[in-house]
Structure 1
Amino acid sequence: MSYWNRMKFFTVVLGLWLSPKVNALKCYECVQGVSGTCTETTKDCPSQDFLCGAITLTTYKGGLEDQQIRYKKCFLAVECVEGSVNFGSEKTVILSHCCNSDLCNTKAPVPKFIPNGKKCYSCEGQKCTRSLNCDGSEDYCIKSSMTVEGEMKLMKGCASKIMCWDNSSALFTNDLGSRSSCCQGDYCNGASSTRVGLLLLTVPFIAFVLFS
């Protein structure tokens, strides 16, 4: 081997030795359900593609908190999503915090409701003429239909962009009904008809996160 080839080989080896080693993260893992307690453990993520994450999913009925689930685990970046859908009497909020250092997912985010000035129609009984004030990232009005027990139901309200069919994460496209649409502009989602229970929409997401 010539002198220059030896020097080139030495430079490559030295560079590899000095370069930082990228390893999979170690994250806290815990599922805190309605009981409010969980046994927190640590887990090595499957690969370097995963982040440490903490996600909070909260459902509301009649303006009061109905259920909250907090979970910590290794998440892919595409799973670190957040947004909300608000149909007036029922609301679901998903918040996430993902980070890229060992055991950094110590705290799960807490919902905060700050009106953003946007207004959409929502349904009350058989009428969908109720005015609904949107919160946070709910920049869109939404209307969506779903077949429940053989009957087509219509629901209307406020939504974050990620909850809209055309822009939605793969986590939600199957959960918002077969005819879901969003629009921008106050009261752009029209008026009429009934709604379906929002809790039906959140079950697939919870199952995906807990058992994936």
Structure 2
Amino acid sequence: MHLLTLIFGIVLLHKAYTLKCYECIPGDSGTCTVKECPSQSYQCGASRVISYLDDSIQVDLNVKDCALPEECITASLNFGLVKTKITSKCCTSDLCNTQPAPEPIKTIPNGKKCFGCIGQSCTSTVNCEGDEDQCISATVNAGGLMSSLKGCASKEVCSSSNSEQISSAIGREFSCCQGNYCNSGTSTSAGLLLLLTPLINFIMFS
């Protein structure tokens, strides 16, 4: 009898501390629903992903959902003409994710330089901005065509704890390094529009 009471107590305690959050998914009729998070490890989160093509916004996604603490990041990817900014905001009370994630702040070049890809050559220069302190090399599959991406990234992009969610944006194979032009240039079959394809499919907290 005491064992049964203990088991029920543990289950009820678990439920009591599992947050309820708003879930808003882009393209899902524009409405938000209330969702119970899978476990106590989750917080309520809001994220925003903006992709730019030559400083013109091409993708602007606002997402709300349950989120693990390591998913609450601010990150930046910069492939030259194509840039992606990720912002997020997390909180720890029921239905606290009412406000959208903050808009990315405007950044300026920070002096670091990495190789980038234009046409079939990956020997162009990308001027890193803001907190982009590492060079990145990635391989993506866009429409069955394997293509190379090179540019700048913030440390959050390169962190192993965030690699699973970042890989959904830029592909499963990517590596980062520190030092100017450390992502040595090679040939590529990537076209400019192919750079946007995997980024459009990126949804935080998936």
Q: Fold-level match, TM-score > 0.5? A: yes
Aligned residue pairs, count: 187
Counterpart contact for 1:27–1:73, Cα < 8 Å:
yes
SS where residue 198 of structure 2 aligns? helix
Quick check: 1:140 aligned with 2:134? yes
* Alignment partner, residue 198 of structure 1: 195
- Unaligned 5+ segments in structure 2 are 1-14
Match of 1:7 in 2: none
- 1:135-166 superposed Cα distances (whole Å, 9 cap, x missing partner): 23321111223455665422211112343386
Which secondary structure state, in structure 1, belongs to the residue aligned with residue 31 of structure 2?
Answer: coil
Matched with 2:115 is 121
The 1:138/1:108 distance shift into structure 2, 3 A limit, reads: same
For residues 25 and 89 of structure 1, do their structure 2 counterparts lie closer, same or farther at Cα, with a shift above 3 Å needed? same
Equivalent pair of 2:52/2:82 in contact (CA under 8 Å) = yes
**Which SS does the other structure have where 1:88 is aligned?**
coil
1:1-212 map, 5 Å: 23-32=17-26, 38-105=30-97, 106-115=99-108, 116-148=110-142, 151-164=145-158, 168-173=162-167, 176-177=170-171, 179-194=173-188, 195=190, 197-202=194-199, 205-206=202-203, 209=205, 212=206
1:103-126 Cα distance to aligned partner (Å, 9 max, x none):
322232211232333221212223
CA RMSD, Structure 1 to Structure 2 (Å) = 3.1
CA distance in 1, matches of 2:62, 2:141: 29
2:6 aligned partner: none
Contact 1:92 / 1:198 at 8 angstroms: preserved in 2?
no
- 8 Å contact 2:170–2:199 — kept in the other structure? no
Task: Report if aligned partners of 1:129, 1:191 keep a CA contact under 8 Å in 2.
Answer: yes
Where has structure 1 moved over 6 Å in runs of 4 or more? Answer: none
TM-score by length of 1: 0.72
The alpha carbon displacement at 1:62 in A equals: 2.0
Which structure has more RCO (C-alpha within 8 Å, separation ≥ 6)?
2
Using the alignment, how far apart are the partners of 1:202 and 1:89 within structure 2?
Answer: 14
Larger Rg: 1
Superposition deviation, residue 167 in structure 1:
6.4
Higher mean C-alpha displacement, 22-31 vs 115-124: 22-31
CA displacement 1:57-76 (0-9 Å, x = unmatched): 11111221001110112222
Structure-2 residue corresponding to 1:8: none
CA contact (8 A) 2:135 2:176 kept: yes
Aligned to 1:13: none
Percent identical across equivalent pairs? 45
